[in-house]
Amino acid sequence: MARRPTRKRRQTGRRKARRPSRRAAVPRGWVRRYWKHAALGLLIVLSAYVFYLDLVIRNRFEGNRWAVPAHVYARPLELYVGMPLNVRQFTRELDLLGYRYAYQAAQPGTYSRDGSRFWVQTRPFTFWDAREPAHRAKIVLEQGHIVSLTDPTSGASLSLLRMDPVFIGGIYPAHHEDRVLVKQEEVPAMLPAALVALEDRNFYTHHGVDLRAIARAMWANIRAGGTVQGGSTLTQQLVKNFFLSNERTLWRKANEVVMAVLLELHYDKPEILEAYLNEVYLGQQGKRAIHGFGLASHYYFDREVGELDLARLATLVALVRGPAFYDPHRYPKRLRERRNLVFDVMAEQGLIGDAERDKARQQPLGVLDDRPSGITPYPAFMQLVRRQLQRDYREEDLTSEGLRIFTTLSPVVQTEVETALAHVLGRLDRRQKLDGKLQGAAVVTSTVGGEVLAVVGDRKARFAGFNRALDARRPIGSLVKPAVYLSALEQPGRYTLATPLDDSPVTLRSDAGDTWQPRNYDGKSHGVVPLFVALSRSYNQATVRLGMQLGLQNVVSTLRRLGVEREVSPYPALLLGSLSLSPYEVTQFYQTLAAGGFHSPLRAIREVLAADGEPLQRYTIRVEQVVEPVTAQVLVSALTETMRTGTGRAVSHWLPADFTVAGKTGTTNDLRDSWFAGFSADHVAVVWLGADDNQPTGLTGASGALGVWGDIMARIPTRALRTPVLGEIEYAWVDAQTGLLADRRCPEAAQLGFVKGTTPTEKTRCKPSGRSSAVDRTVDWFRGMFD
Amino acid sequence: MLRKVALATLCVAAFLAGCAAPPDKPEREGFEPDGGEATGKESIRPGTDTGPAVLALLDEARGAAKAGNLNTAQLQLERALRIEPDNPVLWHYMAKLRLHESRWKEARSLAAKSNTLAGADKRLQADNWRIIAHARQGMGDERGARDAQATARALQPQ
């Protein structure tokens, strides 16, 4: 800026000296004298600029050309004879995979079906350990199980079939550009041929710019009195998409031409075409920009690009001209006309025959209404995946390196959990007149290894808002009690499930002189009860007394071992669940109980692969024994009693009476939180219901969350708990009134586990009327200890 | 270090192959901290009730272990566990893999887990206790290791 006025003054001075009266003629003289210098200077500047453009092009083309978001997959479904799976769940998985129903399943990604018999042709897929080729299989389902798995050609039985995994979403950078990279050999040959025929006939002969095409376009535009045809080559279009903005200026056009020529100088035609196939913009879904034929094929048709038929392929070629102008949902007629033009041009160029063209013209567009969202349908689970990934990966690697993340999500379980939550929650909301305020969250994991199978963080599972499953920390109420009773049972010399506990009113005084008088939920005291009854019926008074005997630090340490990582304050109210945890944290705690005292950190990710399929990282099953297995099993036997006769007994509405499960209800003050946590042999599930503003909902754990939990367990393929055969444990029938041995036919007899040598020896005679003869003596003995 | 890895790989391959284990000294008193052959005279084989899917995966695990790819062997075992979570032999193999990786705490826990599912299979229990003995020794708990070895012998006198 400082130099320009100086030069101007000098020039003005000269002009004044020579021709003071004819100022306009001065520049001409100047040009005459200096034009060679100026031209040279311009040439130098231009050369430098071209050199710069060349550098830009080569930099972009040599390195990673695209920031490819990480793509996240569900667990692959592994089929084997005996596997629990019903027809509804299997068809849903096939739907989510985008497998197409066909009369004869001959192409990868197709299936045919006759009742509960399926013929499937799987897609090949690269996993951590191997590339799974495409398989043909016949699968027969009966009564919720696979009863036969064979190769339909040879009839030979297959031991195991790993299907490709469902794509569940991507991790996008800020500009939301999404793509699935394809190589030219993966693309049907007809696609580039059609593209060239439509967009750039001389692609294989020109050097980046096609002057004849430009002239033709100009002539067409003049005749039409506006822009109706473009003369850009595919190379120019690629350059425009790659490096330049959308503005229509001469300067941009000049850049485009120069860069197109440079690109052609450095790279061969197939390489340029492949880049074009991956770069071209083909659609928009909200903020997400759909780039490249690989992704567009998934987005519009939910199939691999290699699976595109002629009609679909032509539709995509038609969209190249303007995805918004030819939007298949807003302007289907317009798109169809353009697509049919593609057929015409293809026929004209000899790519297809006339008969083929006429047949293809009749085809519908075939664009999906319910388009697979790159913005995941499982936002709560994806959030968990992102959090776990962020421990090991940088944000920019997640959004640009094309990582492939294999997670533990089971779409089968997730769908059932979403349905159960929405269904029960809607009903409860109406019944309690909560005006849609009732919210809920649920987490389901596999007992083995703590794999997270499903996460729902909102009553509207697709809503990616506040994730209650991970972030809503609420007091857990009686869910804490198993930790209190486990602390007791870890002293088998002192406590067994039959040990009498005093459930009379209790008053605690703090050092400051405050008093605390916890009450039972029903407002009654139950006198002396066996320990397992106090747990299964969730008596507060007995629990507080027991916890104080054990010592609060003892209970805190048990919680810590079970997997509660959050700071826990050793106040007496802890014994009734003043501790606030998220449903996810509660799941970790109950996971350890379900696994028989073995702690496994919950995992949402199994493996991470680089874009080229190279294995990067594996998150293995980790198991640590934190409780003696025998003690854990003793506790589990009491938690099954909760479900049979205690606070969880309403589960019989959902599960058959002989289907053994274990669990615990949780309710907080004024019925603000309704919890249920429990497990079968294969699954741990935790459900929370409540209102975001923490207002009472009128629901207890049993009248609220248990309903969702029961519905989940009834829907998912899971097995009942079985009585483990451990050397150190024995099972006995015990009377719920007295804690003495009882006949199994007694009305209040419960089958419970005992560490060998601690089983009650005295037997009681049960009477239909209730109290047995030995009860008074037991009470006397108990009172004698504490009075 | 290389020898150690090679030896460990060989041993794991042998375990998973279900074939006869390398010759074991009868009545061993001490332990070889880097694994060697901890167990009885023959490797544990999958039970007769093991399904064909799991057997196929064990085949793959064996192939991976033989090729020295313990990570993939582990992956195949995990796939098998998802199918038969109550199969104690799978947990036992997992424990052995961890033992050979000197991940003592995990090896001990996995062997204990296998024992909770082993039912009346004394041979498997004894082998699990031998793993626990090794793991305890690896963690510097000599006394615990001797106790575990004694339990193993009581279960399966050699």
Each residue's pLDDT tens digit, B115-142: 999 988 999 999 999 999 999 999 999 9
Domain that residue A761 falls in: 725-787
Give the pLDDT of residue A661: 97
Give the pLDDT of residue A366: 82
Rounded CA gap, A227 and A743, in Å?
A: 93
Residue the block writes with tokens 């196939």: A277
B113: chain A residues, CB-CB within 8 Å: 596, 598, 623, 625, 629
Q: How many domains does chain A have?
A: 3
B51: chain A residues, CB-CB within 8 Å: 80-82, 159
Q: Check whether A279 has a pLDDT greater than 70.
A: yes
Which of A304, A339, A362 is the endpoint of a domain?
A: A362
pLDDT tens-digit map of A469-488: 999 999 999 999 999 999 99
In contact, A643 and A665? CB cutoff 8 Å: no
B22 lies within 8 A of chain A by CB = no
Q: Check whether A16 has a pLDDT greater than 60.
A: no
Q: Are residues A247 and A327 in the same domain?
A: yes
Q: Which residues of A are catalytic?
A: 199, 478
A5 lies within 8 A of chain B by CB = no
DSSP-derived 3-state class of residue A663: strand
B91-112 exposure pattern, b = at least 16 Cβ within 10 A, e = fewer: bbbbbbbbbbbbbbebbbbbbb
Q: Which of B109, B128, B129, B156 to mutate: most A Cβ within 10 Å? A: B109
Region A295-308: what's the mean pLDDT?
Answer: 86
A156 lies within 8 A of chain B by CB = no
Query: Scanning every residue of chain A, which has its alpha carbon at the shortest distance from the alpha carbon of B103?
Result: A622
Q: Are residues A160 and A184 in the same domain?
A: no
Q: Are residues A200 and A226 in the same domain?
A: yes
Which whole-number Å values give the CA distances from A423 to A440, A454, A666, A679, A699, in the listed order? 11, 17, 21, 21, 16
Give the pLDDT of residue B20: 31
In contact, B135 and B99? CB cutoff 8 Å: yes
Q: Are residues A282 and A326 in the same domain?
A: yes
Least confident of A39-53, A142-156, A167-181: A167-181
Region A642-656: what's the mean pLDDT?
Answer: 94
Region A287-292: what's the mean pLDDT?
Answer: 85
By the 10 Å C-beta count (0-12 exposed, 13-18 middle, 19+ buried), A602 is classed as: buried
Which of A164, A196, A227 is the endpoint of a domain?
A: A164
Which whole-number Å values give the CA distances from A705 to A56, A78, A456, A701, A711, in the listed order? 59, 31, 14, 5, 10
Q: Which of A161, A561, A620, A722 to mutate: most B Cβ within 10 Å? A: A620
Q: Is residue A51 part of a domain?
A: no
pLDDT tens-digit map of A506-557: 999 888 888 999 999 999 999 999 999 999 999 999 999 999 999 999 999 9
B105: chain A residues, CB-CB within 8 Å: 624
Q: Are residues A257 and A140 in the same domain?
A: no
Give the pLDDT of residue A649: 94
Q: Check whether B104 has a pLDDT greater than 60.
A: yes
Averaged pLDDT score across all residues of chain A: 88
| pLDDT band, very low/low/confident/very high, at A93 (cuts 50, 70, 90) | very high
Q: Is residue A52 part of a domain?
A: no
Residue ranges of E strands in A115-183: 117-121, 125-126, 131-132, 136-142, 145-150, 161-162, 167-171, 177-179
Which of A338, A362, A386 is the endpoint of a domain?
A: A362
Residues B112, A725: C-beta atoms closer than 8 Å = no
Residues A596, B64: C-beta atoms closer than 8 Å = no
Give the pLDDT of residue A647: 94
DSSP-derived 3-state class of residue A131: strand
User: In this structure, what is the dihedral angle of CA atoms B89, B95, B97, B100, given to the nearest 10 degrees?
Assistant: -140
Region A418-437: what's the mean pLDDT?
Answer: 93
Give the pLDDT of residue A49: 87
By the 10 Å C-beta count (0-12 exposed, 13-18 middle, 19+ buried), A691 is classed as: middle
Give the pLDDT of residue A59: 80
A602 Rama sector, left if φ>0, alpha if ψ -120 to 50, beta otherwise: beta
In contact, B125 and B118? CB cutoff 8 Å: yes
By the 10 Å C-beta count (0-12 exposed, 13-18 middle, 19+ buried), A36 is classed as: exposed
Q: Is residue A527 part of a domain?
A: no
Give the pLDDT of residue A103: 87
Phi, psi at A607, each rounded to 5°: -145, 155
Query: Scanning every residue of chain A, which has its alpha carbon at the shortest distance from the alpha carbon of B90?
Result: A448
Rounded CA gap, A584 and A452, in Å?
A: 10
CATH code assigned at A91: 3.30.2060.10
Q: Check whether A415 has a pLDDT greater than 90.
A: yes
B109 lies within 8 A of chain A by CB = yes
B94: chain A residues, CB-CB within 8 Å: 621
Q: Quick one: which of A590, A388, A392, A384 has its CA closest to A470? A: A384
Q: Check whether A108 has a pLDDT greater than 90.
A: no
B122 lies within 8 A of chain A by CB = no
- Give contacts of A 242-281 with B, CB under 8 A: none
Measure CB to CB from residue B82 to each of A448, A598, A726 and give the nearest one.
A448
A450: chain B residues, CB-CB within 8 Å: none
CA B107 to chain centre: 8
Region A667-672: what's the mean pLDDT?
Answer: 91
Least confident of A146-155, A216-225, A722-731: A216-225
Rounded CA gap, A345 and A355, in Å?
A: 14
Residues A724, B110: C-beta atoms closer than 8 Å = no
Q: Check whether A733 has a pLDDT greater than 60.
A: yes
Question: How many contacts does A have with B, using Cβ atoms within 8 A?
Answer: 79
Rounded CA gap, B85 and A681, in Å?
A: 9
A157: chain B residues, CB-CB within 8 Å: 52
Q: Check whether A1 has a pLDDT greater than 70.
A: no
B64: chain A residues, CB-CB within 8 Å: 129
B75 lies within 8 A of chain A by CB = yes
Phi, psi at A118, each rounded to 5°: -120, 140
| pLDDT band, very low/low/confident/very high, at A27 (cuts 50, 70, 90) | low
> Could you tell me which residue, A679 or B27, shows the higher pLDDT?
A679
Query: Scanning every residue of chain A, which has its alpha carbon at the shortest distance from the alpha carbon of B98?
Result: A622
Q: How far is A720 from chain B (nearest CA, A)?
A: 13
Q: Check whether A774 has a pLDDT greater than 80.
A: no
Q: Is residue A402 part of a domain?
A: no
B76 lies within 8 A of chain A by CB = yes
Residues A447, B71: C-beta atoms closer than 8 Å = no
B71 lies within 8 A of chain A by CB = yes
Q: Is residue A156 part of a domain?
A: yes
Rounded CA gap, A615 and A80, in Å?
A: 26
Q: Are residues A195 and A314 in the same domain?
A: yes
Least confident of A23-27, A81-85, A154-158: A23-27
Q: Is residue A159 part of a domain?
A: yes
Rounded CA gap, A723 and A719, in Å?
A: 13
Q: Are residues A308 and A239 in the same domain?
A: yes
Query: Scanning every residue of chain A, which has its alpha carbon at the shortest distance from the alpha carbon of B104?
Result: A624
Query: Scanning every residue of chain B, which has its alpha carbon at the shortest distance from the alpha carbon of A448?
Result: B85
| pLDDT band, very low/low/confident/very high, at B7 (cuts 50, 70, 90) | very low
Q: Check whether A699 has a pLDDT greater than 80.
A: yes
Q: Check whether A497 has a pLDDT greater than 90.
A: yes
Least confident of A273-277, A489-493, A766-770, B33-37: B33-37
Residues A623, B106: C-beta atoms closer than 8 Å = yes
Q: Check whether A783 has a pLDDT greater than 50.
A: no
Region A588-594: what's the mean pLDDT?
Answer: 98
| pLDDT band, very low/low/confident/very high, at A66 (cuts 50, 70, 90) | confident
Residue the block writes with tokens 């409860």: A428
Region A267-271: what's the mean pLDDT?
Answer: 91
| pLDDT band, very low/low/confident/very high, at A329 (cuts 50, 70, 90) | confident
CATH superfamily of B2-20+47-155: Tetratricopeptide repeat domain (1.25.40.10)
- % of chain A at pLDDT higher than 70: 91
Q: Check whether B30 has a pLDDT greater than 60.
A: no
A596 lies within 8 A of chain B by CB = yes
Domain ranges of chain B: 2-20+47-155
Query: Scanning every residue of chain B, which has its alpha carbon at the shortest distance from the alpha carbon of A83?
Result: B83
pLDDT tens-digit map of A212-227: 888 887 887 788 776 6
For residue A543, count other CB atoms closer than 10 A to its CB: 27
Give the pLDDT of residue A672: 94
In what helix (H) or strand (E) does residue A555 lie, and over which residues does it extend?
helix A552-562
Q: Are residues A184 and A144 in the same domain?
A: no
Q: Is residue A754 part of a domain?
A: yes
| pLDDT band, very low/low/confident/very high, at A38 (cuts 50, 70, 90) | confident
**What is the value of ipTM here, to two decimals?**
0.82
pLDDT tens-digit map of A336-367: 999 999 999 999 999 999 999 999 999 988 88
A719 lies within 8 A of chain B by CB = no
